Amino acid sequence: MACVLLLRLLLLTALAAPSQGNRLGSTPRLRFSRFLDPSNVIFLRWDFDLEAEVITFELQVRTAGWVGLGVTHRYTNVGGDLVVGAVLPNGNVYFSDQHLVDEDTLEEDGSQDAELLGLTEDAVYTTMRFSRPFRSCDPHDLDITGDTVRVLAAYGLDDTLKMDQGRAFVKSIFLLQVVHPDDLDAPEDTIIHDLEITDFLIPEDDTTYACTFLPLPIVSKKHHIYKFEPKLMDHNETIVHHILVYACGNASVLPKGISDCYGADPAFSLCSQVIVGWAVGGTSYQFPDDVGVSIGTPLDPQWIRLEIHYSNFHNRPGLYDTSGIRMYYTARLRAHDMGVLQLGVFTFPIHFIPPRAESFLSYGLCKTEKFEEMNGAPVPDIQVYGYLLHTHLTGRALQAVQYRNGTQLRTICKDASYDFNLQETRDLPGRVEIKPGDELLVECHYQTLDRDSLTFGGPSTINEMCLIFLFYYPRNNISSCMGYPDIIYVAHELGEEVSDSMEGMMALNNVEWTPESIKKAEKACKEAQQMVIIKTID
């Protein structure tokens, strides 16, 4: 990115008019928008120019006081940047690029790198529009990147520029989105179908995986699902952790009712190929116009397994839930039938993260050389167009890297600033081709400074996962390709004598976890031979 320096005047003439459209004059439409606070007082619009590496924000706040918008850090607002503005009583406009020297004190930057495009006040709102470069020369300006960005918004009740923690909010946003839903086709013959668990009594346990089997729509000819969105009950939004829809093979004998997905009855864990998925922080997702989930042909699934993960950490009793996925489908066929490939570290029982780790990397390898054998038919090159990243609470970053013939080709997808509370399906800026024989390495970065014991892979939110779901076409029968390191080798490198994997996992509890042993474990996990597990639709 270029280092851009913009010098701006601090005091400008106000642009006053009663309506939003007039008071900012004729301004370009900003495609993206989001409320930034729980009470919907702060509304943000934004758009960007990838070629010029400039982003434009419009902040609208229900106040007659000053407003501010910027970017901040994961754990603290200290050092975060904040562009502030106000319409003064004399009609002049105050506008300044500042940063937080502590939680309550703002200081003006030596370099003013934000360009004011409009700043007005009416009877209800103060509205500020400005642009800034993705990356400036100012060390007090945090970069706008293709990762999750923690957006800081603040305001006052008058024009006195003073931070009040009760009126400062941070929201994680993926700012540089590739596609906006308004840019996509919405077929006129759209049909809606809901897949949901109805009136389910959520157990008081901290972790519940509830599964049921449901039929897909019965149609007389091929249709395509082109969009999905979560259906959540308002009072249960903080308890529903994720929802997955798995395709079932048409020869499967499926149980009835609702039960624990991974409990005493193994039938409730049948069906392993993800069709669509949602996780905390996500919203609706619409596939590109040339891609859809095929239903209605003999090769398509007729039934699905609906999996809902509930995290009831306060053990609240008497909670009933009706949640699921709403699907939109059409008879207007798209060019390609899509599939989902699950990559990452095989979750249980081998995955582990040491305690008190500032940083620990886990690796999961997928070797696609066996895809054709497992698929039962030739596997053509696949085109990846989207992805969903998933870890639990200690995850800090993820990436998937593609190798061919021992040479690294590219990073397929990544987020170096991952936030557990923002898990959404994202589009790639361009299609990525994967050929049979390629290797796909998933790397997950964790931090466990607040934990005194080992964190193991597992279903609970306090356990960990390292998963990336790739959305691709054309569809094949491979549902997942996961790897894990030879734990016997890892244990030996840590000075533990073991003869099998379970002994190796148990021996990890004997290790004195220091910064040195943590790095040794990470190095061993990276160098160990990877065991690869490939699953097909069942």
Rounded CA-CA distance 434/409 in Å is: 10
**Count, residues in the chain:** 538
List the one residue out of 152, 185, 396, 424 whose CA is nearest residue 287. Answer: 185
Residues 6 or more apart in contact with residue 263 via CB below 8 angstroms: none
209 is catalytic: yes
Query: What is the rounded CA–CA span in Å between residue 426 and residue 388?
Result: 6
For the chain, the C-alpha Rg in angstroms (whole number) is 25
Q: Which helix (H) or strand (E) holds 502?
A: helix 501-507
Q: Which residues of 350-363 are buried (b: 16+ CB within 10 A; e: fewer)?
A: bbbbbebbeebbbb
Catalytic residue of the set 209, 246, 310, 472: 209
Residue 441 φ then ψ, to 5°: -110, 120
**CB burial readout 51-90, b (16+ within 10 A) else e:** eeebbbbbbbbebbbbbbbbbbeeeebeebbbbbbbbeee
Is the CB of residue 120 less than 8 Å from the CB of residue 64?
Answer: no
Residue 115 CA to residue 97 CA, distance in Å, equals: 9
Which tokens in the block code for residue 337? Answer: 């039938």
User: Do the Cβ atoms of 199 and 312 come closer than 8 Å?
Assistant: no
Between CA 471 and CA 340 the distance in angstroms is 5
In 3D, which of 427, 355, 363 has the Cα closest to residue 146? 427
Q: What is the DSSP letter of 28?
A: P
Contact assessment for residue 465 and residue 391, using Cβ atoms and an 8 Å cutoff: yes
| C-beta separation of 302 from 250 below 8 A | yes
* CA-wise closest residue to 122 among 19, 36, 22: 19
Torsion angle in degrees (nearest 10) through CA of 437, 439, 440, 443? 170
Determine the Cα–Cα distance for residues 355 and 358; give it in Å rounded to an integer: 9
Pairwise CA distance, residues 180 & 360, whole Å: 35
Rounded Cα distance between 524 and 526, Å, is 5
- Which tokens sit at 421? 């509370």
Which amino acid is it at 406?
G
The Cα–Cα gap between 443 and 525 comes to 11
Amino acid letter, residue 1: M
Q: For residue 325, what are the contacts with CB-CB under 8 A and spacing of at least 6? A: 194, 195, 196, 228, 229, 230, 231, 243, 245, 276, 278, 306
- In the residue annotation, 390 being an active-site residue is answered as yes
- Residue of 223, 336, 351, 390 with catalytic role: 390
Which residues are known to be catalytic? 209, 390
